Copies of this chain bind each other. A is one copy, B any other.
């Protein structure tokens, strides 16, 4: 049985990615990041998802004292009800977030002997983050082939991005087919008892469920 590391944020995309990998018969080890995000609600969701999927998981605590993002710094206001197709990189961009997450995933993969890393990056209904684009992923994989022992001594580690070119509606349908426990997922950038409904992440999710003609069980 092949082993893989799965980046699990607790949101719709990463949960669907985890269930996709498991459906392929892969033994998954989930990484959950506690990186100083605005709220801990998504960490709770990620842990609940890993447990429900009966997966091993590690919570990786990291510290980005330089902040530089609305997701790390409560003094910066989260965009609310902004057009989702607007140009530019929003205030919720965290400098090098996926670069850091994938670096830890590579370290973990090498230490536990995993051959793949799964990430729910997506470039269709997304916020314009540069580190979600296919070209970035390809380039990260090329870098890993040179920088890891596995790349030098055996087969380079592979980054798997099953959602990269799917719309949110397609991801919702995929999640429903894979029986992802969507009620456990959390996409909202804000914390609190219920999703805010007005941040970019809530609105992309709502758009996905609407277009898939499905009800969001987390609401």
B-facing residues in A58-108 (Cβ within 8 Å)? 58, 60-68, 89, 93-100, 103-104, 106-108
Cβ-defined contact, A96 with B100, below 8 A: no
Cβ-defined contact, A147 with B111, below 8 A: no
| Most chain B CB inside 10 Å of its own CB: which residue of A61, A64, A104 | A104
In angstroms, Cα B135 to Cα A109, docked, is 22
B-binding segment of A6-14, A148-156, A177-185, A197-205 = A148-156
B-facing residues in A117-131 (Cβ within 8 Å)? 130-131
* Total interface residues in chain A, CB < 8 Å: 45
In angstroms, Cα B128 to Cα A149, docked, is 10
Cβ-defined contact, A146 with B139, below 8 A: yes
In angstroms, Cα B136 to Cα A140, docked, is 11
In angstroms, Cα B68 to Cα A149, docked, is 12
Pairs A–B under 8 Å by Cβ, sample size 29: A60-B62, A60-B63, A60-B65, A61-B61, A64-B104, A66-B107, A66-B108, A66-B111, A66-B112, A93-B149, A94-B107, A95-B106, A95-B108, A95-B111, A96-B103, A96-B104, A96-B147, A96-B148, A98-B147, A99-B103, A99-B144, A99-B148, A100-B104, A136-B146, A136-B147, A139-B142, A140-B143, A140-B147, A143-B143
